[in-house]
Amino acid sequence: VILVQVNPGETFTITTEDGHIQCIQGPAHVPMMSPNGSMPPIFVPPGYVSQVNFNLFLRLKCVCGCGFLTIRLLIILSRRAVESISHIFSIELTRSAVLSWNLPVSSQNGESHSHSPAAFTFEVAISNSGKNGKFKSVYVSSIKESISELVSFTTESCEPDCPAAPKLINRTKNSLSLQWKSSNDNGSKITNFLLEWDEGKNGPFKECYYGHLKQYKLTKLSPSTKYSLRLAAKNDIGMSGFSETVTYYTAGIVPPAPSPPVLIEAGVTWLSVKWSPPNGVSSDDSLTYSLDMEEEGSGYGFQPQYNGDELSCTLRNLRRSTSYKFRLFAYNSEGKSSPSEVVEHSTNPDKPGAPSKPVVKGKIHSHSVKVAWDPPKDNGGADISKYFLEISEASVGSKWDTIYSGSQREHVCDHLKPGTSYRMRVYCVSKGGESQASDVTTVTTSAVPPGPCLAPCLAGRAKPKEITLQWGKCQCFRAKYLSAFKCQNKNEKSFGPPSDKAEISTAPGPPDQCCKPLITCKSATCAVVSWESPACNGAEISEYRLEWGQAEGSMHIIYMGSCQSYEVKGLTPATTYYCRVQAVNVAGVGLFGEAGVVTTPAAVPAPVAVLHLLEEDQMETSLPLSTCLAIQWEEPCCHGAEITGYNIEYGEKQLVTVGKNTSHVLENLLPDTLYRIRIQAVNSLGVGPFSHSIKAKTKPLPPDPPHLECVVFSYQSLKLKWGEGPSRALITNPTQFNLQMEDRFGRFVTVYNGPCHTYKVQRLSESTTYYFKIQAYNDAGEGEFSEVYAFTTTKSPPASLKAPKANQLEENTYEITWEPLQPMKGDSIVYILQLAAGREFDQVYKGPETSFRLTSLQTNCEYRIRVCAGRQSQDSAGSQELYGPYSPSTVFSSQKQELVPPSADLTTELAETKKTLREERFIAIVLLCGFAVVAILFAVVIQYFVIK
C-alpha cells in the first residue's frame, strides 16, 4: 500500500489504468496499491524533485508468524524541503496515536477461521527504509481477552497556524491596501482574521480589522509615515499566534520649489553655480537635484545638465560671452518639485585675436612714417578697447618700445632716423584680455644726401703705370664713387660736395664676402632673412644668392635675386635652420658669408591625422551604446610644446575637453542619432587645427516593458498577452520578451523567453494569485522590468460524473443513483438531475444527495437521465455555484411488472443466490472496513509525526 500525501495548494498527477491522466488537488491522502512494489509514474510541478524523496513504512506484525503488513507513505517535497527533512525521523512519539487492526485470518479446507485472541502478541514498528530497513518498535501488546468491536478515533482540532505576514498591494499618501493568505486551519475552518497596527506611533498594537476577508485598506493615514502591522487567524477552537511584524510606508509629498541657482564664478567656457535646499524641508530628507540649462538663441529649450545630491555644479564646454538660462528641480522618493524661477548667467569673453599686420599709409619720409592696421578677425566676444603700437630698430638685440596706445587704428611714427630700418607690430586689449602681437612690418626711412668726402691721397708707393689712392668714407656707408669723387647716396639722386679732383681709372673686382645674415621669425612657420650689401669692388652687385637648410653642411639655394631680404615660408615649428648669403656682380662671385642660425618658435599642435570609432568588441568595458560613443585617435606632432589635452567637437558644435589620453567616451548622447565628430590638440601655445570629421550613430534605446494583461482565466492556467503584435512571432521581428513568475519562495523565475506576444501558464492551483513581470530586449540591449502584475486563477469545476443508474422499485417508480464527489477545499457539492422523455431535458432534482426517486412515470415510455455536480462557495461577492459537465446519458424504459408465482426450484435457487450475494457482500464490507481503518491510522500518523 502506497499512501501519497498531497499538500495544500499542490496537485498530484497520475496515469490511471485506462491510460488517462488524473489530477488530484491537495490537501488529500491518496491510497495506491502496487502488486509488485514498483512506483507508478508521478508528475510533479516545477521546483520539486522528480523522484521519491523518502518513504515512511509502518509495519504491523504478529508473533504467530502470520507475516507483516507494510504500508508505504510517499510525500512529494520541494527541493529546499529535502535539505531539511532529516529531522522528521527524530520525532519522539510523545503524542497519542490510536492504531487498530484486524486479527489474522487463516484458511483451512476452504473455510476462513480466526485464531484465538489469546494466541497473539502484536508489535507496531516504524521505518523510513522499507522491508529490508531497520524498524523502530513503537507498540508491543499481547491480547489475552476477546477483542471488542472496531472503533475509529479522530484527533481533536486546534487553533490555526500562524499566518504569513500581510503583503502591501497598493499605497497612496493616505492609505495602505493589504492582502494576505490563509494558514493551515488544523481541522477547524478559519472564520476570521485579526489585523493589528501601531497607528504609526511605534507604540502598542491595536486592532484595525476583524473579519473573514483576506484584504483590508487602511485609510486616513499620514503621508510619508511608517506603519507596523501583524496578522492572526481564528477558528472555532481559538486564535493563532501573530505573524511576523511588517513595516510599510505611506506615499509622501513632493518637495517645494527650490530657490534659483546662484552664480559662484564665471569663466570663458564654464560657469560655476550653487543652490540651497527648498524651504521647509527637513535635513533628514534625502533630496536630489536636477539642473536644466537653455542657451540663448539655440532654439532647443531647456536641457538637463546635472542630476545628483550635491548643492553646486560646474558646467563646462560652454560658448564664450553667451547668456544661459537656468532652472532647478528638487526630487525625493515621491517625485519632483515645481521648477525654480528662471535666472540668467553669462560666460566671460575670450581674449581677442591678433590685429592685422601694420601697413604703411602714404609716403615714407626720412624722419616719419604713417601706419594703419585692421581690427582682429576674432574679438573674443567683446569690443576692442585699446590698441598698442610697438616699434624697434631692425638691428639685432633692439628692444620693443610702445609709441602709441588708443582706440584709433592708425598712427604717425615720427622722430625716426633717416635711412634706418624699423620693425613695427600691434596688439589689442578687450574685457577678455590681451591679444598676441600681430605680424611684424619692416619699414626703412628715406635717406638724406651724404656729407662731403675727404680729398683722395696716395696709398703706398706710386708705380710707373698705376697708383693706389685712398680717402675717408663719408657719413653714408652706402656710397659709390665717381671719377669726380663726388659721393652719391644709393637711394637718392642728390650729391654731397665734391672733393678735390683726381683722375684715376681702375678695373672692377668681385664683391667682398657678405656679412652674417639677420634672421627674424615672423611666426613658427615663417622667417625673414635680411643682409647688408658688401663692397661691390667697382661693379654694381647684380644678384644675391641665399642658401638654406637644417644642417650647416647640407644647405641649398632657395633664393636668387637683387633684393636684400627674403621671406622663407613653410617651416616646421621648433626646428633649427642655417642660412648664408653670397653676392654676385659682373666681375664674379663673392665668397659666402658666415652662416646664420635660427630656431623657429614652438607652435600649436599639428592636426590629428587618425581618428576612428571603437567597435563594441574593441572596448575594455561594456557601455550603453544608445547614449555613448567611444572614439580613439593618434597623437599628432606637438610642434615644440607638449600636448596638454584635446578638444572634441560633436553634434551641434558641442565641445568637450579631455586630457592627454588618446581615447574618450562621449556620454549623455541622444539615442538613434547621427553625430559628426572632429578633434583638435591643445598645448600651452593654443589649439591646433581640427582633424577631418567622422560620422557615428548611436544605437536606439532598449525597449520599454510592454503592458501585461490576462486574456483567459482558468482554474489551472492563465493566458497572458502583452504588447501590440501577432500571437505568432514574425521572423523579422527583432524584439524578444522575458516573462517571469514569482515562485513559492518569493523569487521571480523565467517561464517564457521569446518573440511571441502571448503565453499560457499551466499547471497552476485553483483560486490562487500569481505574480508576474515582463521585460523586453533587442539588439540595443535589455530594457527594464515592468511593474509586478497579479492575476488569480478561478475555482475548478467538479469533474464529470459517470452515467447514473436507474433501478426499478415498482411499477412507474425508479430510484436513480450516482457516484458521490468529495468536498473541494471545504466547498460543498450539490447535484442536478435532469430527465428527458423526448429531446429536451428538464431538471427534476437539485441537492446534496446522491440518489433520487422518480415516480408517476408513463408506462412503456423511454426516458434519458443525466447528472452533473456543482460546487457551492462563499466569497466577498456572496454565494456562488460552479457546475461541471453533465455525465453521459442513461436510457431506460418504464415497463409494467407482471406477477408470476415462483416455483419451488426457483425459490431454492433464489435463496442460494441471495446467500452467496450476502457472503460476497460481507467479505467486501470487511475488506473495505479494513482498508478504511488502515487509511485512518496512517492519516493520524502523518498528522502528528510528519506534518507537525
pLDDT mean for each 10 residues of the chain (948 residues): 72 73 78 62 53 43 44 47 37 38 44 44 56 58 53 79 92 90 90 93 91 91 88 93 91 86 92 90 78 85 88 90 92 85 93 92 90 92 93 84 92 90 93 91 85 69 69 44 45 55 65 91 91 88 92 88 92 92 90 91 90 81 83 90 92 86 90 91 90 88 90 92 63 77 90 92 91 89 90 90 89 89 88 90 92 86 92 81 90 66 48 66 86 88 72
Q: What is the pLDDT of residue 567?
A: 93
Tally of CA atoms within 13 A in the half-sphere of 389 that contains its CB? 25
Short-list 417, 479, 421, CA closest to 450: 479
Spatial neighbors of 920 by CB under 8 A, at least 6 apart, are none
Burial (CB < 10 A; 0-12, 13-18, 19+), residue 103, is middle
Say how far apart CA 659 and CA 683 lie, in whole Å.
Answer: 11
Residues in the chain, overall count: 948
Q: Which amino acid is at 535?
A: A
Cβ 438 vs Cβ 355: under 8 Å: yes
Q: What is the pLDDT of residue 748?
A: 92
Say how far apart CA 948 and CA 161 lie, in whole Å.
Answer: 11
Q: What is the pLDDT of residue 408?
A: 92
Q: In this structure, what DSSP letter does residue 779 have? A: T
Short-list 548, 542, 541, 546, CA closest to 530: 546
Say how far apart CA 620 and CA 314 lie, in whole Å.
Answer: 29
Q: What is the pLDDT of residue 722?
A: 93
Q: How far is CA 390 from CA 240, 423, 439, 529, 600, in A?
A: 101, 8, 12, 21, 22
Say how far apart CA 346 and CA 445 lie, in whole Å.
Answer: 49
Q: What is the pLDDT of residue 25?
A: 78
Say how far apart CA 61 and CA 661 lie, in whole Å.
Answer: 87
Say how far apart CA 273 and CA 259 lie, in whole Å.
Answer: 12
Question: What 3-state class would DSSP assign to 883?
Answer: strand
Q: What is the pLDDT of residue 297?
A: 78
Spatial neighbors of 541 by CB under 8 A, at least 6 apart, are 511, 533, 534, 562, 583, 584, 585
Cβ 40 vs Cβ 32: under 8 Å: yes
DSSP states of 659-684: -S-SEEEE-SPPTT-EEEEEEEEEET
Q: Strand 789-792 relative to strand 805-810: parallel, antiparallel, unpaired? A: unpaired
Say how far apart CA 477 and CA 487 lie, in whole Å.
Answer: 10
Say how far apart CA 796 and CA 882 lie, in whole Å.
Answer: 8
| pTM assigned to the model | 0.35
